[in-house]
Amino acid sequence: MMAEEFVLASEKYGSGSLERKYTFSTEKGNIERIGRKRETIAERVKQFFKSAFLPQGYPESVSKDYLRYQVWDTVQAFCSSITGTLATQAMLKGYGVGDDKATSLAATMTWILRSGTGMVGSILFAWIQGSNLDCNAKKWRLFADVLNDASILLEMLAPLFKAYFTFVACLSSVSKAIVGVAGGATRAAMTQHQARRDNMADVAAKDGSQETLVNLLALVGGLVITPMVSGNAGLTWTLFFIFTFLHLYANFRAVSSVVMETVNIPRLHILVTEFLTSGFIMTPQEVGSREPIIFGMSTGECLRISLGTEFMSVVNSVSELDAALPNSKQSRYIMKLKLSKGRNSGSIYVVLHEDSNSFDHLQSCFQACVLDYVIRTRPSTRKVLIDSDGSQRALEALHNFWWHEKSQPIDCSWDLIALAHNFTLQAFPAFIKGLEEAGWTTSRTHLGPDEWRTVWNCQGLEIKKSI
């Protein structure tokens, strides 16, 4: 019998270049491993850094935007650490280090006041804005870094105003406390987005390792820079503004590179506008490039959406409840449009039923975005689409009604909502299907509804009609 050798198994470690094969020889009767027995020093170093600073299974275990975001996040962290070093030197001078007239008691009192105001500030900010951090993670992430630079600037200026040093130091502490809350919360949201194998803890741990390494390098840089700038105010401020600019630019690039697959209000406005204009559903990447990430910038909407509001903000009489439920008494949401005097802006209040879910939340906000689109655009801006389900005719009726009735003194909002609801019932199934095909996550949203839930009794409507 002739000796025979064949490959019994092969394996590889993740998506890397490390591959092994196992052969079996009938002559020797044992299994042998084929492959490099010894890796070069460069390969070992590369493998160490990959294992120590990147999540296991990278790049398959994280989102596609992970590396791009982390590169810019590393740059901004380094710049922030350098400017923090410059600010620390200024604050120590303000506390009285090197001043014979300064007392330890005064420095201790200032430190306590500064820390205390920061703690109060973090509690108040988390109370006021905690629920909004998930919905607008990209905006709050950039806001936190801008505010961080502002707090460092205050620390740099504090020693120049000795009479108000404690006040400026406390104001800086409050700013940094807000940065800590907003930055930490949005970092968790980013981590949740990046983790694709239920490996959020691993992604967070490796992100912490990356930041620690960057801070260590910045610490070494600080040891070099601090003696150079000591006593040289011009050089200190020059380096501060250079690194602050780099910090802000790197943060803008980092946040811009993030592509969220969950829908929030600004993204939904972009999606609905494109859908109603051309019938096309944009991908998360396309929406991400158009999504505003700076507070004050918007997608052009004229109506503010209040989701999950109180019952009395929409219904104040039985007749209004009847008007708010034009088609189906089993609807899981009701809404009211309140326009301003110019009738080109206003708010949409949405009351959610106790049994409503994320699908109902998304549908109600879709209807609200349709209303917003109709009010701010003329019918001529829309392309003529193939009308297979009647939704095009419903949209035309909605558009024509508003642009005909808006000049009248009567309030046509209930009729407008009824027409928008008719259109939503026809168009929303195609919209939600398009979202899923384009790569959006529809099982959960970041629409940010308030916690009010209502159960309405339609029996009163029937009693009223029978009288």
Average pLDDT over residues 418-433: 90
pLDDT at 466 (0 to 100):
47
Task: Write down the pTM of the prediction.
Answer: 0.84
Looking at every residue in the chain, the average pLDDT score rounds to 83
Which one of 76-90, 368-382, 403-417 scores highest in mean pLDDT?
A: 76-90
User: Is beta strand 333-339 parallel, antiparallel or unpaired with respect to 346-352?
Assistant: antiparallel
Average pLDDT over residues 38-57: 81
Q: How confident is the model at residue 410 (pLDDT cuts 50, 70, 90)?
A: very low
Burial 62-85 (b: 16+ CB within 10 A, else e): bbebbebbbebbbbbbbbbbbbbb
Instruction: Judge whether residue 293 has pLDDT over 70.
Output: yes
Instruction: Judge whether residue 440 has pLDDT over 90.
Output: yes
Q: How confident is the model at residue 415 (pLDDT cuts 50, 70, 90)?
A: confident
246 contacts: CB under 8 Å, gap ≥ 6: 75, 76, 79
Model confidence pLDDT, tens digit, residues 206-228: 999 999 999 899 989 888 888 88
249 contacts: CB under 8 Å, gap ≥ 6: none
Q: Where are the alpha helices (DSSP H) in 332-453?
A: 358-376, 391-405, 413-438
Instruction: Judge whether residue 253 has pLDDT over 60.
Output: yes
